[in-house]
């Protein structure tokens, strides 16, 4: 089974590649360099704490490069001609997208039965960007969910393969949340790859409704999320 991962260079994506690669050899990781930038401020200080926390939890404080973990190619976008050429060279059975921009129909066409996406949220409620933060903003803690779904040409609209709720613990801080989401992404992906290896396809179900689309969360709303989430976890019982 030939597997290609489309992602970016971050501590949590490096951990994902490392852990999936332990059980399933990866043919290639394609790193997207050019991130979409919103026309307003989205930076919040918890994000630096999050990156440092993940480096400590996943790599004992080291800054692991993707090229140290798997064969890697860097492209401006996973949809560019260069990226398509790399995909064509491999001829993958499965393509996993984790944390890139929207995947083009040309990429999907390269692997129509095996291209999937990891979405930090429930797309039946929250599609698009910063889904966990938007759930927290709405105090919708039951929808702190991670989803592995098929990719089609509509944003976060494909059939659901697996979902799981994130473990929200007493006194948990917001900068810790992505670590648990990443570990959930590893578990869902490994389970799905085992199914694909056994049955030659992903077993999936249609979404029961299309969630609202959300874009980037502005920095002031992230501050509200941090306060609300940490107030919520402070009151959880052990």
Number of separate helices (H) and strands (E) present in the chain:
7, 9
pLDDT tens for the 238 residues of the chain, in order? 999 999 999 999 999 999 999 999 999 999 999 988 899 999 999 999 999 999 999 999 999 999 999 999 999 999 999 999 999 999 999 999 999 999 999 999 999 889 999 999 999 999 999 999 999 999 999 999 999 999 987 777 889 999 999 999 999 999 999 999 999 999 999 999 999 999 999 999 999 999 999 999 999 999 999 999 999 999 887 6
- CA–CA dist 52, 32 (Å, integer): 21
- Tell me if 29 sits within 8 A of 70, measured CB to CB: yes
Contacts of 144 (CB under 8 A, 6+ apart): 121, 132, 135, 136, 165, 166, 168, 177
In this prediction the pTM is 0.96
């Amino acid at each position: 089974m030939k597997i290609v991962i489309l992602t970016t260079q971050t501590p949590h994506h490096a951990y994902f590649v490392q852990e999936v690669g332990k059980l399933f050899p990866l043919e290639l990781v394609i790193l997207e360099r050019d991130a979409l930038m919103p026309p307003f401020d989205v930076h919040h200080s918890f994000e630096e704490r999050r990156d440092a926390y993940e480096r400590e939890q996943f790599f004992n404080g080291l800054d692991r490069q993707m090229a140290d973990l798997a064969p890697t190619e860097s492209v401006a976008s996973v949809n560019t001609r260069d990226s398509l050429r790399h995909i064509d060279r491999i001829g993958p059975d499965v393509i996993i997208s984790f944390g890139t921009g929207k995947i083009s129909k040309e990429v999907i066409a390269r692997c129509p039965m095996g291209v999937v996406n990891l979405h930090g949220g429930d797309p039946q409620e929250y599609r698009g960007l910063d889904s966990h933060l938007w759930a927290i903003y709405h105090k919708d803690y039951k929808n702190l969910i991670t989803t592995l779904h098929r990719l089609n040409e509509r944003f976060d609209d494909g059939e659901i393969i697996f979902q799981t709720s994130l473990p929200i613990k007493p006194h948990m801080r917001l900068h810790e949340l992505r670590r648990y989401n990443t570990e959930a992404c590893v578990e869902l992906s490994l389970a799905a790859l085992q199914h694909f290896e056994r049955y030659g396809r992903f077993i999936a179900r249609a979404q029961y409704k299309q969630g609202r689309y959300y874009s980037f969360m502005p920095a002031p709303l992230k501050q509200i999320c941090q306060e609300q989430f940490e107030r919520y976890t402070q009151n959880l019982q052990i």
